[in-house]
Structures are given as structure tokens and as C-alpha cells.
Amino acid sequence: MEFREFGKTGHKLPLFGMGTYYDPGWIAAAKLLRMKPRSDMHLKAINTGLDNGINFIDTAEIYGTEPLVAKAISGRKRNDIFIATKVWRSNLEYDSVIKACNGSLKNLQTSYIDLYQIHFPNKRVKISETMRAMEYLVKEGKIRYIGISNFSLRQMLEAEEALKANELASTQMPYSLVDRKIEKDILPHCREAKIAILAYYPLGHGKLGSENASLSAAVADISRNHGGKSLSQIALNWFYSKHENVFPIPRAANPLHVTENVGSVGWALSTDEISRLEGAIFSAK
């Protein structure tokens, strides 16, 4: 597996991580039935990634998958794995952040979280209050790095400003070949400030490529140039070939898909191929 620096942290992460948001039905069932539905397949998918060097897992208190992540990493060396989780937007007051973090630590059966992210901003709670709690958690050794998710650029700048003893490590935003909104402002800022981006919905939430003839033609040609790579492998490689500091997190639900995604690493798209892919999406819009 290839690794790259995660923002300014000095920590190295594999080129992609594993998402563990399955669906709203999963969240409800995980709460009611204590993660019964298809959990064996999800567990196998996460373990397939870990066995292939994808030691970077993204979860959230709201997903109901922290216990599943704990199960997947049990028996492995904790220090070898990078766990990113998130505090939900209703828990952003000082005491609530700390309580939520303790809950996540318990769910994950670990003494520390590598990356603790604010899942969504909450206008009713000052970001300075939330960040004070986050910095307390860093001081206590309960979290290593602080991240945000779904913040606008303005909200992101406020978050950075609110941090006193730490720097913002990352933001998590929707980003893919079919959704490039962050390229307008968030991405240039992150590049400049060396803040990592976790790209969610990197495969267009499963809709990438559907009914797009020009993309299919571009993918067929590019695939031929690279020994038969698939649409998903090409779509993930697009991130690594284009950026230094963006880590897509396709969901790990199916072991076959995880194995396929491992094949997105170890080769590179040319500048012409990148333009061809982007042009194909643009022409279909």
C-alpha cells in the first residue's frame, strides 16, 4: 500500500480509507438489534481492507458502526490503525463533546481516537466552545487530531481561528468526479493551509457512471491503457493522481469491492486522462 502525509500531522495514511456509513436503515437496526443486519459481510469487508494495508477507518457516533469497528480491529495492534470518528451536531456543547467522546471510546474499545471530527456545524453552539472541548480532549490524550466535516469555508476559517494550541488537521466533504463543488474555495484553502480532505461519496454514492455514455467511452479507453482497471478504480485513482492531500473514503461493505478498490493504488492517470474524464462528466451535465 502507498501512504501519504495526512495534512501537517506528520502521520502517514494509505491513499484511501474505509467508510462505514451503511445506510439509515442500518443505523436504526444497529440501534435496535445491536448491529445484526449484514454485519458479518461488513466485518469481512473491513478486515479485507485491513489485511491489504488500508489501516484507516472512518466512522461516527451516529452511524452505529463504532462497535463493528471495535470488532474488526480487535486482535490487531491498535497503534497500527488510524480511527476517525465524529461527534454528532447535537453534542457540540462543551460537556456534551466530552461525554460523546467517552461514549465513542467505549464503543470503539480503545483509549484514544486518532481523528475526532465535528460531523456537522451547529449554529446554536459557538465553535469556540466546541473547540475548547476538542483541545481539552487532545490534552487528555483521548484524541490525537481535530477535524471537521460539512463546514463551509467561512465556518472552517472560524474553526481554525478558534483553535489555540492545536491546528485543524482535516475536513471531510462530499467530493468526487461528479461532485466537484469544493474545488471552488475549500480545496484551494486546504491546499494552501495543508489541511487534509477526507472525500466522502467518492464513488458518487454508488451512482457514478450510470447513464453517461461519454464517461463509459473515456473509462473504456483509460482502462485499456492501464491493464483493465474498472470505473471505481479509475474514479479513486483520479484523487491520487490529481491531489497530494485528499483521501477518498469509499464505503467498505462488500469484500469484493474493497479488494477492487485496493487495485486503485500503485499506478497513475496521465494529465490527458484526467482531462478526458473530467470533460466526459462535464459534457454529460
Q: Which of 31, 34, 205, 224 binds ligand NAP (CB under 6 A)?
A: 205
Query: Quick one: how far is CA 44 from the chain centroid?
Result: 19
Candidate residues 83, 203, 215, 246; the one interacting with ligand NAP per rule CB under 6 A: 203
**CA distances to 73, 105, 107, 201 from 67, in Å:** 10, 10, 5, 22
Give me 241's grid cell: 493522481
Q: Does 223 bind ligand NAP (CB under 6 A)?
A: no
Catalytic residue among 22, 63, 112, 116: 63
Q: What are 76's three cell numbers?
A: 490487531
Which position among 6, 16, 21, 82 is part of the footprint of ligand NAP (CB under 6 A)? 21
Residue 155 binds ligand NAP (CB under 6 A) = no
In the list 113, 187, 249, 281, the residue contacting ligand NAP (rule: CB under 6 A) is: 249
Shortest distance in whole angstroms from residue 204 CB to ligand NAP: 6
How far is 227 from 229, CA to CA, in rounded Å? 6
Footprint (CB under 6 A) of ligand NAP, residues 45-84: 58
Among residues 56, 151, 201, 240, the one that binds ligand NAP under rule CB under 6 A: 201
Distances (CA, A) of 43 to 70, 113, 203, 285: 10, 20, 21, 37
| CA atoms in the 13 A half-sphere facing the CB of 60 | 24
Strands in 246-248's sheet, in edge-to-edge order, are 18-19, 56-58, 82-87, 113-118, 143-149, 168-174, 196-200, 246-248
- Of the ranges 104-112, 127-135, 204-212, 238-246, which one interacts with ligand NAP (CB under 6 A)? 204-212
Would you state the cell numbers that stand for residue 257, as one nine-digit string? Answer: 469491492
Secondary structure (H, E, C), 61-90: HHHCCHHHHHHHHCCCCHHHCEEEEEECHH
Q: Answer yes or no whether residue 253 interacts with ligand NAP by CB under 6 A.
A: yes
In angstroms, the CA 168 to CA 153 distance is 13
- Using CB under 6 A as the binding rule, whether residue 204 contacts ligand NAP is answered as yes
Contacting residues for 132 by C-beta, under 8 A, at least 6 apart: 94, 162
Q: At residue 277, what are phi and psi to the nearest 5 degrees?
A: -60, -50
Residue least distant from ligand NAP (Cβ)? 19
Q: Which stretch binds ligand NAP (CB under 6 A): 186-194, 200-208, 212-220, 237-245?
A: 200-208
Interface with ligand NAP includes 209 (CB under 6 A)? no
Exactly one of 16, 121, 261, 276 binds ligand NAP (CB under 6 A); that residue is: 261
Q: In the bound complex, what is the minimum distance in angstroms from residue 164's beta carbon to ligand NAP?
A: 25
The size of the interface with ligand NAP (CB under 6 A), counted in residues, is: 24
Determine the Cα–Cα distance for residues 27 and 216; give it in Å rounded to an integer: 34
How many Å apart are CA 46 and CA 183, to the nearest integer?
Answer: 30
Is 19 an interacting residue with respect to ligand NAP (CB under 6 A)?
yes
63 is catalytic: yes
Stretch that binds ligand NAP, among 25-33, 183-191, 255-263, 276-284 (CB under 6 A): 255-263
Return the number of other C-beta atoms located less than 10 Å from residue 210's C-beta: 10
Is 137 or 236 the residue whose CB approaches ligand NAP more closely? 236
Q: Which residues are catalytic?
A: 63
Binding site for ligand NAP (CB under 6 A): 19-21, 58, 119, 149-150, 172, 200-206, 232, 249-251, 253-254, 257, 260-261
